[in-house]
Structure 1
């Protein structure tokens, strides 16, 4: 699979004028400039620093709401009942700091059939969006550290980072669809149902037979994953990096390590090309305009 987008490049063909003796014959090659932009991220806004230990952001295309999963503690595997889901607006205002409370260490989120699904250590939590209530919880057998989530056509997919597994949830049933994925975290589903993930081997996709193909082996240990299309992706690393990547190259667009600001499970507004970055211990969400 070869990416259509290539960068950075500035191609300039030289003009040539060929003149021969005798009857004059002239051939001219017209100068042609082809410029491709290097992908960039420009800061638009930041929320106040009151979204405690925010790990994941999810943009709802249907409503324009932005959901933020807050662990509200130092230990992302502690069952302390302090976790919450907040709602922020598209201009960075905190609309509801504790829309849902009483969770433990909520992380990945996905929306399916009017429900918001949240991974919470060893449970998949179902929240009815219309009533703002937790409508169900499903214990995941053998779960160690549930993390990212994504949905497609009524099925919710989610990862268990420490167990190296990918699970699916359909009609109240949980199944394990893939094992042996070291440190699997970020997850995204293509329009055709293809599963993409980030683990210790890099950015990879699942083939129809259940095997996997590594697309980019440089962006390893990723956290959040966004499919842009045309073979291009955005991948974040928790330590403070956000990459633009494809099957042949990668560009580091954001590096906040010097500021000790993390870049956890990112969200994305595709219509406006805005990336929402949860900063974890900095307790705020930062929004960036993507230009590519």
Structure 2
């Protein structure tokens, strides 16, 4: 019996150590001042080593046309407060080539990265609440979520087409393109994966609240956020682990950005009017 007990103890230690090795820790690094207003999304531009922050600057409504995109350094310091202005309730962003794309409720704005000027706008037929963006850089496709219509659209060569609508989508928000798949943060708290060719949808993880932002850590591991103030780590086996909860302080965690080179996570706090940076270890 002693040998069996010892074996069980060692097995328990090994299992616990393995589980601990599979998790991550978030360590606070810095927080911006509150001069940026209602930041909803942070996008890392590794080529230019800057952050773009979509600032709603008020409420996320069709009537709000005072939104802008701010340009920050990787240290959170403002380079240009209004890199692009006169936008309409900005949210998700993505980069394709030398252009920045950002959602504007019922359309997608195309912005020249060299100047910050809006060069085009692409309306989405019947759109209700366009939210996040994910980009397939190889095929030149920009995927867009409509949270209030449970749809995913695709912009390619200036043409907008419907990719998927209805169940299992429900209040879908966050998007990420990885390994030829479109990852979808569903309103029911599940993380989905869609094959854009076959439209087949699979469930990667579930058990969270409505997912806002999604970033990939590699090896099928992800960090996802709930707008209300929760940050989850999703392991490769699909198990979600709550890593940060600022909901009691009413500090939101909206559409996150991640720099894999420095392993830093950037969290826009929405009504708290800051961006927070955390090291991911």
Secondary structure in 2 aligned to 1:223? Answer: strand
Q: 2:147 aligns with which of 161, 167, 171?
A: 161
Q: Which residue of 2 aligns with 1:213?
A: 202
Q: 1:130 aligns with which of 104, 111, 114?
A: 114
Secondary structure in 2 aligned to 1:42? Answer: strand
Of Structure 1 and Structure 2, the greater helix share is in: 2
Q: 1:237 aligns with which of 221, 226, 234?
A: 226
Shift of 1:231: 1.8
- For each residue in 1:175-209, what CA deviation from the matched residue of structure 2 results, as whole angstroms up to 9, or x when unmatched? 1101111110000001x321111113410101352
- For each residue in 1:79-116, what CA deviation from the matched residue of structure 2 results, as whole angstroms up to 9, or x when unmatched? 33210000111111111111111011000000001100
Shift of 1:32: 11
* Unmatched segments (≥5 aa) in structure 1: 1-10, 15-30
**For residues 111 and 238 of structure 2, what CA distance do their matches in structure 1 show?**
39
Q: 2:62 aligns with which of 62, 78, 90?
A: 78
Residue correspondence of structure 1 range 157-196 to structure 2 within 5 A: 157-180=143-166, 181-190=169-178, 192-196=179-183
Aligned residues: 263
**For residues 140 and 263 of structure 1, what CA distance do their matches in structure 2 show?**
27
Structure 2 residue 97 is matched with structure 1 residue 113: yes
- For each residue in 1:111-146, what CA deviation from the matched residue of structure 2 results, as whole angstroms up to 9, or x when unmatched? 001100000000100001112210000111000000
* Unmatched segments (≥5 aa) in structure 2: 1-7
Contact 1:161 1:185 in 2 (8 A): yes
Contact 1:198 1:220 in 2 (8 A): no
User: Taking structure 1 as the reference length, what is the TM-score of the superposition?
Assistant: 0.86
Secondary structure in 1 aligned to 2:125? Answer: coil
Structure with the greater alpha carbon radius of gyration = 1
Q: Which residue of 1 aligns with 2:245?
A: 255
Shift of 1:278: 0.3
**For residues 78 and 46 of structure 1, what CA distance do their matches in structure 2 show?**
29
